[in-house]
Amino acid sequence: MEALKIVDPSLLGLTSEQYSSLGPYLWVVGGSLLAMIFAVVPFIPARISVVCIAIASLIGAVVSAAHQITADRTDLFAGMMVSDGYSAFFNILFLATAALSILASVRYLEKQKLEYPEYYVLMLFSTFGMMLMASTLDLISIFIALEIMSLSAYVLVGFRRNDRRSNEAAMKYFILGAAASAILLYGTALLYGSTGSFLITDILARVTTKPELMTPAYHLGGWLVIVGFLFKVAAVPFHMWMPDVYEGAPTPITGFMTTGIKAASFAAFVRVFISLGYGKDIEAAIGGRLHDVLWVIALITMFFGNVIALTQTNLKRMLAYSSIANTGYLLVGMIAAPHSEAGYAPILMYLATYTVMNLGAFSILSVLSGKGDTNLNLHDLSGLARRHPWLSFAFAVFLFSMAGIPPTAGFASKYYLFYSAIQAGEIWLVVLAVLCSVIGVYYYLRVIVYMYMRENEGLEKFAVPALAAFSIAMMVAMTLQIGILPSKMIAVTKKVVAKL
């Protein structure tokens, strides 16, 4: 028997294009390593140096990711990773999420007496995992990226160690997250066993050319992978971890998770979803049943999230349920994508606007919260508009946007999403989705009623930290900008999904 040629010489080094397309990742990893060193350097206060390093590395990464949006696709590491417009779009989204969450965290941690540099280091690691989720193309690397992202998040959720709710949330998240990872991993193993490849593009190509490969084991693997992702995006009935985790986590981390982790899970989900053959001509994977199952899951997710959110008086919990409802809208987009003209672009648009408005809302909650995450009940906001007119205005803009009222970003992206679903012929689903979002209007506007129309009996006047004020103002501007002139954003999202 002849010896195999194992070492592929082209894999022994990187070309200069490959190096430059790895730029954003190197910035973030480099930043986190440097932050770890500076956390223990004497004479320089770690809480200042680590924040500065984290922000600087995130900005560097955004700059190096920005030119990749229009650049050509670069394959890395034998096709295991790719740098294209899609990954660049999501990278910028995650980097901005991390930077804005850090700005909201600085004073929050000071207030909670939690100023420890590990917080920022873990946030950078989690961001790195998210970026890889959007750019890796093989199932092993997707799994490891998911673990890097989640492992850091488990610790961040439990960062308020002296708070029982935070401990419980971390434990719950860890155990259920591990179960979800196990399901995903089992599905991966079955897909590999039945097709012989880990690369998601390869799997699609192989089952397209050789349909006999779609054995029952392949179908089971595909379903398990889908269930694993539905767990991560918290679709009903796999949502039970979410409200407690979001309530127990430190407030800026809740914002970071509802936007970053959700967007990252969807980024990987979309890639895997496409590779399972949904909407292709081949009678692939799970065939028409995937459509029906997702249809039902999307509907109960929207309905359940909105109805339970109605009864919540704690703002963090309310936004957690609203985040479940938003997962439902995004699933509507997934169902419709292959059959509509815009494809997956509305999902990207929705994720981007959701990130902006939700991060804004959570930055405001971080400013409001007292020691031990108190002061986050609805009645604490009574009459807030009289003492903090600008803060209330910003919060009102975010809430209007989440309710989907023009001229905010939430309206534009929801319109775009539902429009593409109508194009795909999902009339009933859109009707029900719109009804669900009308339920949502009630609890979003209730907060505004409390802020503007109630007696002056809520929180005392407090100082709004400058960093948080800066990031909130930026997000208000973006919410209104995308709402009034959505066409630029739509053009970008269309372009990046074109070559998916």
Partner 1 sequence: MDISPVGFYLFAGVAIACSLLVVFKKSPVSSAFSLILVFAAFAGIYANLAAHLVAALQVLVYAGAIMVLFIFVIMLLSADEPSFDMGRSHPLVKALVGFFCVALFVMFVWALKKSDHGQVLVGPYSVAAVAASGGNSKVVSQLMFTRYILPFELTSILLLAGIVGAIALAKRNLGKEGK
Q: Footprint of partner 1 on this chain (CB under 8 A)?
A: 1-4, 6-8, 11-12, 29, 36, 76-78, 80-81, 112-116, 118-119, 121-122, 125-126, 128-129, 132, 136, 138, 140-141, 144-145, 147-148, 151-152, 154-155, 158-162, 193-196, 206, 210, 212-213, 215-220
Helix (H, G, I), strand (E, B) or coil at 202: helix
Q: How far is the CB of 342 from partner 1 (least distance, A)?
A: 32
For partner 1, the closer CB: 181 or 327: 181
CB of 437 to partner 1, least distance (A): 33
Query: Closer to partner 1 at the Cβ: 36 or 480?
Result: 36
Least separation, in Å, of the C-beta of 431 and partner 1?
34
Residue 25 or residue 266: which is nearer to partner 1 going by CB?
A: 25
- Residue 318 and residue 243: Cα distance in Å, rounded? 9
For the bound state, the minimum distance from the C-beta of residue 152 to partner 1, rounded and expressed in Å, comes to 5
* Angle (CA) 220 225 231, round 5°: 125
Helices (H), 257-344: 262-275, 287-310, 315-336
CA nearest to 232, candidates 155, 274, 271, 180: 180
CA 315, CA 255: separation in Å to the nearest integer? Answer: 12
Instruction: Compare residues 122 and 267 and give the one whose CB is closer to partner 1.
Output: 122
Q: How far is the CB of 80 from partner 1 (least distance, A)?
A: 5
Question: Whose Cβ is closer to partner 1: residue 176's or residue 480's?
Answer: 176
Pairwise CA distance, residues 28 & 276, whole Å: 31
Report how far residue 458's alpha carbon sits from residue 384's, in angstroms, rounded to the nearest whole number: 7
Nearest C-alpha neighbor of 302 from the set 396, 153, 414, 395: 414
Q: Shortest approach of partner 1 to residue 159 CB, angstroms?
A: 7
In the complex, what is the shortest distance from the CB of residue 432 to partner 1, in angstroms, rounded to a whole number? 29
Indicate the residue among 45 and 425 with the shorter CB distance to partner 1.
45
Of 109 and 391, which CB lies nearer to partner 1 in the complex structure?
A: 109
Of 460, 448, 463, nearest to 378 (Cα)? Answer: 448
CA 25 → CA 22, 44, 101, 152, 368, distances in Å?
6, 27, 19, 17, 34
Q: Are 56 and 14 in contact (CB under 8 A)?
A: no
Helix (H) or strand (E) holding 81: strand 81-83
**CB 313 → partner 1: shortest distance, Å?**
26
For residue 83, give the amino acid letter: S
Query: Considering the complex, what minimum distance in angstroms separates the CB of residue 310 from partner 1?
Result: 28
Residue type, 65: A
Residue closer to partner 1 by CB (options 162, 423) is 162
Q: Judge if the upstream peptide bond of residue 407 is cis by omega within 30 degrees of 0.
A: yes
| 49 or 215: CB nearest partner 1 | 215
Residues in the chain: 500
